[in-house]
């Protein structure tokens, strides 16, 4: 039996819209091809950035976009990516396939792209191989309005007004690709670099320190102890792998059975434990939760599609990814007191992308549709829920069959998001809405005829959202029939 009590008169704080953030790295075909096609491309574009992608992303109401990496960030020299295109340096992308990076997509292009899609920029600075001065000058170049060499340079490059830049990351994965540092050493470097990330505009720069790799609680402890008063956010990276290992095959994005399905969802649910335990460590130093946990890389990571460059991390996206996205978002909502931003990896053509492109063609993945369905929760008030879920069992392991979240938006509408994790069994969920006289007025579902169903360039609409009507009123409860392997969002409103 599945039962969900929604206490509409007990609110649990705002679901920060930044939980719906994205991440775009100079990796594979994310920036080049996925976003940037150049001014002379036959693909319709706005100043070199593809129009179809801009329009699709605008519809998601993306609050914040992280760039330029990822591992790339700690190899990136921003001065190589400004000024006339023909003078921009060509460099090797050492982390991702060793391909030539021509620097045509740089600071100006990224910040314009953010304006075009309506997202706030979140820039990750280079600690691994860049200097304190380079980082300081980048912030000055982007945000200072007075007289200075950096401001003059920006103006000479065509941008009179400074940009508004709120979010700045001081390094990325400095425990790994960003320098293989120990936490004590990085904490000192953080203090040093961050001291030169100055506030030039009226708004304070929100500084994000490199946080732990999944369950490295010691990293969190050292960072909070040694530098916790100097940052606003601490990042967390956790990817869902269908296997439990980074060594060898991670499994195919499209060829998997129900055992792999179960494992993938179980591994997704591990995000909950990570947040709870990192939060507990952070609370030792910051019980008021001033410092946010920023999950600025999350999503699925499979083997690359056969025949594609292993360094490009290009993977397909099935109904399984739809469930992974929805479960993660429900977990982030649940921990909205500590988790204030999350950035799915990555925007286009890389890992759990919302968009795939092939030449001039573009398709929306099942993950895109989840983010579209769920955007109603952005900046809404989370409502208290009590969930009793049946067990979903596989080979002696057990997880909850249901994942759920509820919120009320500024117009007073209530939205419920419900996932049925079971690969084969439909189920009924009895929903008891307390403290409100609202009724379900509409629903949307994403489901598929097979677990492996995905959109391709020949069949781009195989997995798309549809109207959902399988709900009825029984006495004082709503009875909702959730098909196997589905995600549903429901809108409730008071009548009259």
Binding stretches for ligand AHR (CB under 6 A): 25, 69-71, 172-173, 297, 345-346, 351
Task: Specify the residue, 150 or 236, whose C-beta has the smaller distance to ligand AHR.
Answer: 236
Catalytic pick among 33, 137, 297, 381? 297
Nearest one of 32, 27, 94 to 313, comparing CA atoms: 27
- Exposed/middle/buried for residue 422 (C-beta within 10 Å: 0-12, 13-18, 19+): buried
> CA 298 to CA 342: how far, in whole Å?
8
> CA 93 to CA 90: how far, in whole Å?
9
Query: Cα 442 to chain center, whole Å?
Result: 27
> CA 461 to CA 322: how far, in whole Å?
14
Task: Specify the residue, 25 or 321, whose C-beta has the smaller distance to ligand AHR.
Answer: 25
Min. distance of Cβ 300 from ligand AHR in angstroms?
11
Task: Specify the residue, 65 or 492, whose C-beta has the smaller distance to ligand AHR.
Answer: 65
Question: Rounded to the nearest 10 degrees, how much is the dihedral formed by the CA atoms of 135, 141, 145, 149?
Answer: 100
Task: Specify the residue, 171 or 443, whose C-beta has the smaller distance to ligand AHR.
Answer: 171
> CA 129 to CA 92: how far, in whole Å?
14
Min. distance of Cβ 346 from ligand AHR in angstroms?
6
Task: Specify the residue, 315 or 486, whose C-beta has the smaller distance to ligand AHR.
Answer: 315
Min. distance of Cβ 314 from ligand AHR in angstroms?
12
Active site residue 120: no
> Which residue's Cβ has the minimum distance to ligand AHR?
70
Task: Specify the residue, 193 or 312, whose C-beta has the smaller distance to ligand AHR.
Answer: 312
Question: Rounded to the nearest 10 degrees, how much is the dihedral formed by the CA atoms of 382, 300, 343, 415?
Answer: -20
Catalytic pick among 101, 137, 173, 381? 173
Active site residue 173: yes
- Exposed/middle/buried for residue 439 (C-beta within 10 Å: 0-12, 13-18, 19+): middle
Min. distance of Cβ 239 from ligand AHR in angstroms?
7
Radius of gyration of the chain (CA): 22
- Buried-exposed string 341-378: b where 16+ CB fall within 10 A, e elsewhere: bbbbbbbbbbbbbbbbbeeeebbbbbbbbbbbbbbbbb
Min. distance of Cβ 70 from ligand AHR in angstroms?
3
Task: Specify the residue, 271 or 351, whose C-beta has the smaller distance to ligand AHR.
Answer: 351
Catalytically active residues, by annotation: 173, 297
């Amino acid at each position: 039996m599945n039962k969900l009590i929604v206490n509409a008169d007990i609110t649990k704080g705002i679901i920060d819209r930044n939980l719906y953030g994205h991440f775009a790295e100079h990796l594979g075909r994310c920036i080049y091809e996925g976003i940037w096609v150049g001014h002379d491309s036959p693909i319709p574009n706005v100043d070199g950035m593809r129009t179809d992608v801009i329009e699709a992303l605008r519809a998601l109401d993306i609050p914040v976009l992280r760039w330029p990496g990822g591992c790339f960030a700690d190899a990136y020299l921003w001065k190589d990516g400004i000024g006339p295109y023909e003078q921009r340096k060509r460099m090797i992308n050492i982390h991702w396939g060793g391909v030539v990076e021509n620097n045509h997509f740089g600071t100006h292009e990224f910040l314009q792209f953010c304006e075009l899609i309506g997202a706030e920029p979140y820039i990750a600075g280079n600690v691994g191989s860049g200097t304190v001065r380079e980082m300081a000058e980048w912030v000055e170049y982007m945000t200072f309005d007075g007289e200075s060499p950096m401001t003059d340079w920006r103006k000479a490059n065509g941008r009179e007004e400074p940009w508004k830049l709120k979010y700045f990351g001081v390094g990325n994965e400095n425990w790994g690709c960003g320098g293989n540092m120990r936490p004590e050493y990085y904490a000192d470097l953080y203090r040093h670099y961050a001291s030169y990330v100055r506030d030039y505009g009226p708004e304070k720069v929100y500084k994000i320190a490199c946080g732990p790799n999944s369950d490295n609680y010691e990293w969190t402890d050292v960072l909070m102890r040694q530098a916790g008063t100097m940052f606003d956010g601490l990042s967390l990276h956790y990817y869902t792998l269908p296997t439990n290992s980074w060594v060898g095959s991670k499994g195919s994005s499209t060829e998997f059975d129900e055992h792999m399905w179960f494992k993938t969802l179980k591994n997704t649910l591990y995000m909950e434990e990570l947040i709870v335990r990192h939060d507990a460590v952070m609370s030792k130093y910051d019980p008021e939760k001033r410092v946010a946990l920023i999950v600025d890389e999350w999503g699925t990571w499979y083997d690359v599609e056969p025949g594609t460059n292993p360094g490009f991390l290009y993977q397909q996206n099935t109904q399984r990814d739809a469930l992974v996205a929805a479960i993660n978002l429900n977990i982030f909502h649940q921990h909205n007191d500590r988790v204030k931003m999350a950035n799915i990896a990555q925007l286009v053509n890389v890992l759990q992308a919302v968009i795939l492109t092939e030449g001039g063609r573009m398709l929306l993945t099942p993950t895109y549709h989840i983010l579209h369905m769920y955007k109603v929760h952005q900046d809404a008030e989370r409502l208290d829920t009590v969930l009793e879920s049946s067990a979903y069992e596989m080979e002696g392991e057990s997880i909850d069959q249901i994942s759920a979240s509820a919120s009320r938006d500024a117009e007073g509408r209530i939205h419920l998001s419900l996932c049925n994790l079971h690969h084969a069994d439909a189920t009924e969920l009895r929903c008891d809405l307390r403290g409100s006289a609202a009724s379900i007025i509409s629903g949307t579902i994403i489901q598929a005829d097979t677990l492996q169903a995905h959109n391709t360039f020949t069949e781009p609409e195989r997995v798309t959202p549809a109207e959902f009507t399988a709900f009825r009123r029984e006495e004082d409860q709503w009875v909702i029939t959730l098909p196997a392997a589905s995600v549903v969002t429901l809108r409730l409103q008071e009548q009259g």
